[in-house]
Amino acid sequence: MKKIFSLALAGVMALSLAACSDSGAQGGSSEGESSEGESSATVANNEKPLIWYNRQPSNSSTGALDMDALTFNENTYYVGFDANQGAELQGEMIAKYIEDHKDTIDRNGDGIIGYVLCIGDIGHNDSIARTRGARKALGTAVEVDGAIDSAPIEVNKDGSSTHVQDGELAGLKVRELASHEMKSAAGATWDAATAGDTVSAWVGDFGDQIDVVVSNNDGMGMAVFNKWSKEAGIPTFGYDANSDAVAAIADGFGGTISQHADVQAYLTLRVMRNILDGVDIMTGIATPDDAGNVLTDTDYKYSEADRSFYALNLAVTADNYQDFLDATAIYAPISNQLDEAAHPTKKIWIDTYNASDNFLSSTYNPQLNNYAKTLNLAGVDQMVGGDGQSESSVSNKLTNPSEYDGFAINMIKTDNAATYTSILNQ
Protein backbone atom coordinates (compact mmCIF):
# COMPACT_ATOMS: atom_id res chain seq x y z
CA MET A 1 0.00 0.00 0.00
CA LYS A 2 2.66 2.41 1.10
CA LYS A 3 4.62 1.78 -2.04
CA ILE A 4 1.64 2.36 -4.34
CA PHE A 5 0.88 5.57 -2.54
CA SER A 6 4.46 6.73 -2.85
CA LEU A 7 4.60 5.93 -6.52
CA ALA A 8 1.38 7.83 -7.12
CA LEU A 9 2.69 10.75 -5.13
CA ALA A 10 5.97 10.67 -6.96
CA GLY A 11 4.07 10.73 -10.24
CA VAL A 12 2.10 13.77 -9.17
CA MET A 13 5.24 15.49 -8.04
CA ALA A 14 7.00 14.64 -11.25
CA LEU A 15 4.15 16.25 -13.18
CA SER A 16 4.10 19.30 -11.01
CA LEU A 17 7.85 19.61 -11.34
CA ALA A 18 7.86 18.93 -15.05
CA ALA A 19 10.43 21.63 -15.58
CA CYS A 20 13.00 19.57 -13.75
CA SER A 21 15.12 17.40 -15.95
CA ASP A 22 15.12 13.65 -15.58
CA SER A 23 17.26 12.30 -12.82
CA GLY A 24 18.21 8.85 -13.76
CA ALA A 25 17.97 5.29 -12.69
CA GLN A 26 17.28 5.57 -9.01
CA GLY A 27 13.58 6.16 -9.00
CA GLY A 28 13.31 9.46 -10.81
CA SER A 29 13.45 11.65 -7.74
CA SER A 30 13.05 15.34 -8.39
CA GLU A 31 14.33 18.36 -6.61
CA GLY A 32 12.55 19.15 -3.39
CA GLU A 33 11.19 15.76 -2.54
CA SER A 34 14.25 14.08 -1.06
CA SER A 35 13.59 15.52 2.37
CA GLU A 36 10.26 13.72 2.34
CA GLY A 37 11.97 10.47 1.41
CA GLU A 38 9.81 9.62 -1.61
CA SER A 39 12.78 8.94 -3.81
CA SER A 40 14.08 6.25 -1.51
CA ALA A 41 10.70 4.68 -0.85
CA THR A 42 10.53 3.64 -4.51
CA VAL A 43 13.85 1.79 -4.41
CA ALA A 44 14.39 -1.24 -2.18
CA ASN A 45 17.15 -0.72 0.37
CA ASN A 46 19.12 -3.63 -1.04
CA GLU A 47 19.16 -2.02 -4.49
CA LYS A 48 20.47 1.33 -3.36
CA PRO A 49 24.10 2.37 -3.79
CA LEU A 50 26.37 0.87 -1.15
CA ILE A 51 29.89 2.27 -0.95
CA TRP A 52 32.30 0.60 1.44
CA TYR A 53 35.11 2.98 2.22
CA ASN A 54 38.46 3.02 4.04
CA ARG A 55 38.07 -0.53 5.37
CA GLN A 56 37.80 -3.01 2.54
CA PRO A 57 35.48 -5.97 3.13
CA SER A 58 37.98 -8.79 3.60
CA ASN A 59 38.99 -11.66 5.81
CA SER A 60 41.00 -10.20 8.65
CA SER A 61 43.27 -13.24 8.94
CA THR A 62 43.98 -14.05 5.30
CA GLY A 63 43.31 -10.64 3.70
CA ALA A 64 41.13 -12.31 1.04
CA LEU A 65 38.55 -9.87 -0.30
CA ASP A 66 34.94 -10.48 0.68
CA MET A 67 33.51 -10.60 -2.83
CA ASP A 68 29.99 -11.27 -1.55
CA ALA A 69 30.09 -7.90 0.15
CA LEU A 70 31.79 -6.17 -2.78
CA THR A 71 29.16 -7.45 -5.21
CA PHE A 72 26.18 -7.12 -2.86
CA ASN A 73 24.24 -5.43 -5.64
CA GLU A 74 25.18 -3.84 -8.94
CA ASN A 75 25.58 -0.52 -7.15
CA THR A 76 28.21 -1.70 -4.68
CA TYR A 77 31.82 -0.45 -4.73
CA TYR A 78 34.79 0.00 -2.43
CA VAL A 79 36.78 3.22 -2.26
CA GLY A 80 40.16 3.22 -0.59
CA PHE A 81 43.72 3.70 -1.69
CA ASP A 82 46.45 1.50 -3.09
CA ALA A 83 47.72 -0.07 0.12
CA ASN A 84 50.69 -1.84 -1.45
CA GLN A 85 51.92 1.09 -3.49
CA GLY A 86 51.67 3.33 -0.42
CA ALA A 87 53.35 0.80 1.82
CA GLU A 88 56.28 0.41 -0.57
CA LEU A 89 56.56 4.16 -0.76
CA GLN A 90 56.65 4.46 3.02
CA GLY A 91 59.38 1.80 3.24
CA GLU A 92 61.46 3.46 0.52
CA MET A 93 61.09 6.86 2.15
CA ILE A 94 62.47 5.47 5.42
CA ALA A 95 65.30 3.61 3.69
CA LYS A 96 66.30 6.73 1.79
CA TYR A 97 66.33 8.76 4.98
CA ILE A 98 68.66 6.21 6.59
CA GLU A 99 70.97 6.23 3.56
CA ASP A 100 71.06 10.02 3.49
CA HIS A 101 71.88 10.17 7.21
CA LYS A 102 74.11 7.10 7.52
CA ASP A 103 76.94 9.05 9.14
CA THR A 104 74.88 10.38 12.02
CA ILE A 105 71.97 8.01 12.49
CA ASP A 106 73.60 5.31 14.63
CA ARG A 107 73.30 6.96 18.02
CA ASN A 108 75.23 4.54 20.18
CA GLY A 109 77.77 3.71 17.48
CA ASP A 110 77.31 -0.07 17.69
CA GLY A 111 76.92 -0.41 13.92
CA ILE A 112 73.24 -1.32 14.21
CA ILE A 113 70.37 0.94 13.27
CA GLY A 114 67.58 0.02 15.64
CA TYR A 115 63.98 0.81 14.84
CA VAL A 116 60.70 0.28 16.64
CA LEU A 117 57.40 -0.24 14.82
CA CYS A 118 53.87 0.79 15.83
CA ILE A 119 51.34 -1.57 14.25
CA GLY A 120 47.75 -0.32 13.76
CA ASP A 121 45.56 -3.41 13.52
CA ILE A 122 46.93 -6.88 12.76
CA GLY A 123 43.67 -7.74 10.93
CA HIS A 124 43.52 -4.64 8.67
CA ASN A 125 44.86 -4.85 5.09
CA ASP A 126 46.39 -1.38 5.20
CA SER A 127 48.20 -2.02 8.44
CA ILE A 128 49.54 -5.38 7.24
CA ALA A 129 50.75 -3.81 3.98
CA ARG A 130 52.62 -1.04 5.82
CA THR A 131 54.36 -3.44 8.18
CA ARG A 132 55.43 -5.50 5.16
CA GLY A 133 56.51 -2.42 3.18
CA ALA A 134 58.75 -1.17 5.98
CA ARG A 135 60.31 -4.60 6.60
CA LYS A 136 60.90 -5.15 2.90
CA ALA A 137 62.63 -1.81 2.32
CA LEU A 138 64.73 -2.11 5.48
CA GLY A 139 65.80 -5.66 4.70
CA THR A 140 64.25 -7.09 7.85
CA ALA A 141 61.46 -9.07 6.14
CA VAL A 142 61.06 -12.82 6.50
CA GLU A 143 58.61 -14.77 4.36
CA VAL A 144 55.99 -17.20 5.58
CA ASP A 145 53.91 -19.10 3.04
CA GLY A 146 55.09 -16.85 0.21
CA ALA A 147 54.27 -13.53 1.90
CA ILE A 148 56.19 -11.24 4.23
CA ASP A 149 55.50 -11.99 7.87
CA SER A 150 53.58 -9.04 9.32
CA ALA A 151 53.26 -10.31 12.90
CA PRO A 152 54.27 -8.03 15.76
CA ILE A 153 57.55 -9.31 17.19
CA GLU A 154 57.13 -7.66 20.58
CA VAL A 155 60.77 -7.56 21.72
CA ASN A 156 63.89 -8.46 19.67
CA LYS A 157 66.80 -6.96 21.52
CA ASP A 158 69.41 -9.46 20.33
CA GLY A 159 68.11 -10.09 16.80
CA SER A 160 66.85 -13.61 17.51
CA SER A 161 63.20 -13.12 16.48
CA THR A 162 61.96 -15.51 13.81
CA HIS A 163 59.40 -13.02 12.43
CA VAL A 164 62.12 -10.66 11.23
CA GLN A 165 65.81 -10.82 10.43
CA ASP A 166 68.60 -8.28 10.66
CA GLY A 167 68.88 -6.31 7.44
CA GLU A 168 71.60 -4.23 5.88
CA LEU A 169 71.45 -0.70 4.55
CA ALA A 170 74.20 1.75 3.69
CA GLY A 171 76.79 -0.57 5.20
CA LEU A 172 75.00 -0.73 8.54
CA LYS A 173 72.98 -3.48 10.14
CA VAL A 174 69.27 -2.74 10.57
CA ARG A 175 67.31 -4.35 13.38
CA GLU A 176 63.63 -4.22 14.28
CA LEU A 177 64.02 -3.94 18.04
CA ALA A 178 60.32 -4.10 18.86
CA SER A 179 56.88 -3.93 17.30
CA HIS A 180 53.46 -4.02 18.86
CA GLU A 181 49.80 -3.78 17.84
CA MET A 182 48.54 -0.54 19.36
CA LYS A 183 45.23 -1.71 20.73
CA SER A 184 43.62 -0.14 23.78
CA ALA A 185 42.54 -2.27 26.74
CA ALA A 186 38.95 -1.84 25.53
CA GLY A 187 39.88 -3.07 22.05
CA ALA A 188 40.24 0.07 19.91
CA THR A 189 42.91 -0.43 17.24
CA TRP A 190 45.34 2.15 15.74
CA ASP A 191 45.25 3.59 19.24
CA ALA A 192 47.43 6.66 19.58
CA ALA A 193 47.36 6.73 23.38
CA THR A 194 48.59 3.13 23.52
CA ALA A 195 51.45 4.07 21.19
CA GLY A 196 52.45 6.92 23.50
CA ASP A 197 52.51 4.58 26.50
CA THR A 198 54.33 1.85 24.61
CA VAL A 199 57.17 4.10 23.54
CA SER A 200 57.91 4.95 27.14
CA ALA A 201 58.30 1.24 27.85
CA TRP A 202 60.48 0.80 24.76
CA VAL A 203 62.76 3.66 25.73
CA GLY A 204 63.11 2.01 29.14
CA ASP A 205 64.04 -1.31 27.49
CA PHE A 206 66.28 -0.10 24.66
CA GLY A 207 67.52 3.38 25.53
CA ASP A 208 69.86 4.72 22.84
CA GLN A 209 69.57 1.57 20.75
CA ILE A 210 66.51 3.20 19.13
CA ASP A 211 67.50 5.28 16.09
CA VAL A 212 64.25 5.38 14.08
CA VAL A 213 60.52 5.13 14.83
CA VAL A 214 58.22 3.65 12.17
CA SER A 215 54.46 3.85 12.55
CA ASN A 216 51.61 2.42 10.49
CA ASN A 217 49.90 5.82 10.73
CA ASP A 218 50.37 9.44 11.78
CA GLY A 219 48.03 9.24 14.76
CA MET A 220 50.28 6.74 16.51
CA GLY A 221 53.46 8.30 15.09
CA MET A 222 52.56 11.73 16.42
CA ALA A 223 51.73 10.30 19.84
CA VAL A 224 55.26 8.86 19.96
CA PHE A 225 56.77 12.05 18.57
CA ASN A 226 55.07 14.25 21.13
CA LYS A 227 55.84 11.91 23.99
CA TRP A 228 59.47 11.25 23.20
CA SER A 229 61.06 11.32 19.77
CA LYS A 230 60.73 15.04 19.09
CA GLU A 231 62.78 15.93 22.10
CA ALA A 232 65.12 12.99 21.64
CA GLY A 233 65.68 14.00 18.00
CA ILE A 234 64.66 10.60 16.62
CA PRO A 235 63.26 10.55 13.06
CA THR A 236 59.71 9.25 13.19
CA PHE A 237 57.72 8.17 10.15
CA GLY A 238 53.97 7.99 9.82
CA TYR A 239 51.32 7.61 7.17
CA ASP A 240 48.26 9.72 6.22
CA ALA A 241 49.70 13.24 5.90
CA ASN A 242 47.43 14.62 8.60
CA SER A 243 48.06 18.35 8.95
CA ASP A 244 49.73 18.03 12.36
CA ALA A 245 52.18 15.41 11.12
CA VAL A 246 53.05 17.42 8.02
CA ALA A 247 53.66 20.51 10.15
CA ALA A 248 55.86 18.42 12.48
CA ILE A 249 58.30 17.73 9.63
CA ALA A 250 59.64 21.22 10.34
CA ASP A 251 60.43 19.97 13.87
CA GLY A 252 62.11 16.72 12.85
CA PHE A 253 59.23 14.34 12.08
CA GLY A 254 60.81 12.14 9.40
CA GLY A 255 57.99 12.00 6.86
CA THR A 256 54.58 10.65 6.04
CA ILE A 257 52.55 9.40 3.10
CA SER A 258 49.59 11.20 1.60
CA GLN A 259 46.95 8.63 0.70
CA HIS A 260 45.12 11.37 -1.22
CA ALA A 261 42.22 11.66 1.20
CA ASP A 262 40.78 14.38 -1.03
CA VAL A 263 40.54 11.99 -3.96
CA GLN A 264 39.18 9.20 -1.73
CA ALA A 265 36.48 11.36 -0.17
CA TYR A 266 35.50 12.60 -3.60
CA LEU A 267 35.37 9.09 -5.05
CA THR A 268 33.31 7.78 -2.13
CA LEU A 269 30.65 10.40 -2.80
CA ARG A 270 31.14 10.65 -6.55
CA VAL A 271 30.39 7.00 -7.19
CA MET A 272 27.26 7.44 -5.07
CA ARG A 273 26.26 10.54 -7.06
CA ASN A 274 26.76 8.79 -10.39
CA ILE A 275 24.60 5.84 -9.38
CA LEU A 276 21.88 8.16 -8.10
CA ASP A 277 22.05 10.16 -11.34
CA GLY A 278 21.93 6.98 -13.40
CA VAL A 279 25.01 7.98 -15.39
CA ASP A 280 28.20 6.18 -16.31
CA ILE A 281 30.13 5.30 -13.16
CA MET A 282 33.27 7.04 -14.48
CA THR A 283 31.56 10.42 -14.83
CA GLY A 284 33.66 13.11 -13.15
CA ILE A 285 36.33 10.45 -12.61
CA ALA A 286 37.81 9.27 -15.91
CA THR A 287 35.69 11.62 -18.00
CA PRO A 288 34.78 15.21 -17.12
CA ASP A 289 31.31 15.81 -15.72
CA ASP A 290 29.12 18.73 -16.79
CA ALA A 291 30.87 21.02 -14.30
CA GLY A 292 34.35 20.06 -15.48
CA ASN A 293 35.39 17.80 -12.59
CA VAL A 294 37.78 15.04 -13.60
CA LEU A 295 40.69 13.02 -12.20
CA THR A 296 43.74 11.62 -13.95
CA ASP A 297 45.45 8.27 -13.68
CA THR A 298 48.05 9.70 -11.32
CA ASP A 299 45.22 10.27 -8.81
CA TYR A 300 43.58 6.85 -8.69
CA LYS A 301 43.15 3.47 -10.31
CA TYR A 302 40.10 1.28 -10.69
CA SER A 303 40.03 -2.49 -10.41
CA GLU A 304 36.93 -3.99 -11.99
CA ALA A 305 37.75 -7.41 -10.50
CA ASP A 306 37.75 -5.96 -6.96
CA ARG A 307 34.91 -3.49 -7.67
CA SER A 308 37.31 -1.06 -6.06
CA PHE A 309 38.63 2.45 -6.62
CA TYR A 310 42.07 3.05 -5.15
CA ALA A 311 43.60 6.51 -4.68
CA LEU A 312 47.35 6.67 -5.27
CA ASN A 313 49.81 7.74 -2.58
CA LEU A 314 52.55 10.38 -2.46
CA ALA A 315 55.55 10.64 -0.14
CA VAL A 316 55.69 13.78 2.01
CA THR A 317 59.15 14.64 3.32
CA ALA A 318 61.29 17.64 4.22
CA ASP A 319 61.65 18.25 0.46
CA ASN A 320 57.99 18.88 -0.32
CA TYR A 321 55.96 19.14 2.89
CA GLN A 322 55.14 22.81 2.30
CA ASP A 323 52.70 21.70 -0.39
CA PHE A 324 50.78 19.43 2.02
CA LEU A 325 50.31 21.63 5.08
CA ASP A 326 46.52 21.77 4.77
CA ALA A 327 45.23 18.20 4.58
CA THR A 328 41.64 19.44 4.39
CA ALA A 329 42.04 21.69 1.33
CA ILE A 330 39.74 20.92 -1.58
CA TYR A 331 41.50 19.52 -4.67
CA ALA A 332 41.17 21.96 -7.56
CA PRO A 333 40.46 19.49 -10.42
CA ILE A 334 37.37 18.22 -8.57
CA SER A 335 36.22 21.40 -6.88
CA ASN A 336 33.45 22.50 -9.27
CA GLN A 337 29.95 22.78 -7.86
CA LEU A 338 27.31 20.59 -9.51
CA ASP A 339 24.16 22.28 -10.66
CA GLU A 340 21.36 21.63 -8.17
CA ALA A 341 18.65 21.40 -10.82
CA ALA A 342 20.46 18.75 -12.84
CA HIS A 343 21.79 16.92 -9.76
CA PRO A 344 19.18 17.37 -7.03
CA THR A 345 20.12 16.89 -3.41
CA LYS A 346 20.06 13.29 -2.19
CA LYS A 347 20.43 12.08 1.34
CA ILE A 348 22.97 9.47 2.32
CA TRP A 349 23.74 7.51 5.48
CA ILE A 350 27.40 7.48 6.42
CA ASP A 351 29.50 6.45 9.40
CA THR A 352 33.05 6.43 10.64
CA TYR A 353 34.28 3.30 12.46
CA ASN A 354 35.87 5.27 15.29
CA ALA A 355 34.97 8.84 16.07
CA SER A 356 38.40 9.40 17.57
CA ASP A 357 40.55 8.02 14.75
CA ASN A 358 42.96 10.86 13.91
CA PHE A 359 43.04 10.33 10.16
CA LEU A 360 39.32 9.92 9.69
CA SER A 361 38.29 12.74 11.97
CA SER A 362 40.96 15.32 11.15
CA THR A 363 41.53 14.67 7.44
CA TYR A 364 38.97 12.40 5.79
CA ASN A 365 35.83 13.78 7.40
CA PRO A 366 36.51 17.43 6.48
CA GLN A 367 37.20 16.26 2.92
CA LEU A 368 33.87 14.40 2.84
CA ASN A 369 32.16 17.60 3.88
CA ASN A 370 33.89 19.50 1.07
CA TYR A 371 32.67 17.15 -1.63
CA ALA A 372 29.24 16.55 -0.13
CA LYS A 373 28.67 20.21 -0.84
CA THR A 374 29.95 20.24 -4.40
CA LEU A 375 28.10 17.01 -5.23
CA ASN A 376 24.79 18.00 -3.58
CA LEU A 377 24.71 15.12 -1.10
CA ALA A 378 23.11 15.67 2.29
CA GLY A 379 23.70 13.65 5.45
CA VAL A 380 27.49 13.78 5.74
CA ASP A 381 27.19 16.33 8.54
CA GLN A 382 25.15 13.72 10.44
CA MET A 383 27.93 11.14 10.25
CA VAL A 384 27.48 8.29 12.74
CA GLY A 385 30.63 7.87 14.86
CA GLY A 386 31.49 4.37 16.09
CA ASP A 387 33.58 3.45 19.12
CA GLY A 388 36.19 1.54 17.09
CA GLN A 389 35.53 -1.67 19.06
CA SER A 390 32.09 -3.16 18.70
CA GLU A 391 30.37 -3.22 15.32
CA SER A 392 27.00 -2.60 16.96
CA SER A 393 28.13 0.90 17.98
CA VAL A 394 27.69 1.67 14.27
CA SER A 395 25.22 -0.88 12.94
CA ASN A 396 22.67 -0.22 15.71
CA LYS A 397 22.36 3.28 14.33
CA LEU A 398 21.34 2.12 10.86
CA THR A 399 17.74 1.89 12.00
CA ASN A 400 15.85 3.59 9.17
CA PRO A 401 17.57 2.79 5.86
CA SER A 402 14.41 3.63 3.91
CA GLU A 403 14.99 7.29 4.66
CA TYR A 404 18.24 7.34 2.69
CA ASP A 405 19.17 7.22 -0.98
CA GLY A 406 22.48 5.45 -0.41
CA PHE A 407 24.94 4.17 2.18
CA ALA A 408 28.65 4.84 2.72
CA ILE A 409 29.98 2.40 5.27
CA ASN A 410 33.24 2.35 7.22
CA MET A 411 33.21 -0.95 9.09
CA ILE A 412 34.85 -1.51 12.43
CA LYS A 413 36.08 -4.96 11.46
CA THR A 414 36.67 -5.79 7.84
CA ASP A 415 34.97 -9.20 8.28
CA ASN A 416 31.67 -7.66 9.31
CA ALA A 417 30.07 -6.60 6.03
CA ALA A 418 27.14 -8.98 6.49
CA THR A 419 26.07 -7.10 9.59
CA TYR A 420 25.14 -4.22 7.30
CA THR A 421 23.94 -6.07 4.23
CA SER A 422 21.53 -8.08 6.35
CA ILE A 423 19.96 -4.83 7.55
CA LEU A 424 19.59 -3.67 3.95
CA ASN A 425 18.06 -7.02 2.99
CA GLN A 426 15.33 -6.82 5.63
Choose the contact partner of 254 out of Ca ion, ligand BGC, none; CB within 5 to 8 A by kind: none
- Amino acid at the residue 48: K
Q: CB of residue 357 vs ligand BGC: minimum separation in angstroms?
A: 5
Task: Decide: is 44 part of the binding site for Ca ion (CB under 5 A).
Answer: no
Choose the contact partner of 55 out of ligand BGC, Ca ion, none; CB within 5 to 8 A by kind: ligand BGC
Q: Which residues pair with 256 in a beta bridge?
A: 316
Q: CB of residue 38 vs ligand BGC: minimum separation in angstroms?
A: 35
Judged by CB under 5 A, the chain residues 75 through 114 that form the site for Ca ion are 106, 108, 110, 112
Q: CB of residue 107 vs Ca ion: minimum separation in angstroms?
A: 6
Q: CB of residue 89 vs ligand BGC: minimum separation in angstroms?
A: 13
**Closest to ligand BGC by CB, 17 or 186:** 186
Task: Decide: is 286 part of the binding site for Ca ion (CB under 5 A).
Answer: no
Choose the contact partner of 110 out of Ca ion, ligand BGC, none; CB within 5 to 8 A by kind: Ca ion
CA distance 138 to 165: 10
**Closest to ligand BGC by CB, 28 or 80:** 80
CA distance 145 to 152: 17
Number of residues that bind Ca ion (CB under 5 A): 4
CA distance 348 to 12: 24
**Closest to ligand BGC by CB, 54 or 165:** 54
Choose the contact partner of 88 out of ligand BGC, Ca ion, none; CB within 5 to 8 A by kind: none
Judged by CB under 5 A, the chain residues 108 through 147 that form the site for Ca ion are 108, 110, 112
CA distance 197 to 223: 9
Task: Decide: is 323 part of the binding site for Ca ion (CB under 5 A).
Answer: no
The answer to whether 117 and 220 have CB atoms below 8 angstroms apart is no
How many CA atoms lie less than 13 Å away from 381 in the CB half-sphere?
6
Q: CB of residue 194 vs ligand BGC: minimum separation in angstroms?
A: 13
Choose the contact partner of 82 out of Ca ion, ligand BGC, none; CB within 5 to 8 A by kind: none
Choose the contact partner of 112 out of Ca ion, ligand BGC, none; CB within 5 to 8 A by kind: Ca ion
CA geometry: angle 152, 154, 158, nearest 5 deg: 120
**Closest to ligand BGC by CB, 85 or 156:** 85
Binding-site ranges for ligand BGC (CB under 6 A): 54-55, 120, 126, 190, 217, 219, 239-240, 353, 357, 359
Choose the contact partner of 302 out of Ca ion, ligand BGC, none; CB within 5 to 8 A by kind: none
Binding site for Ca ion (CB under 5 A): 106, 108, 110, 112
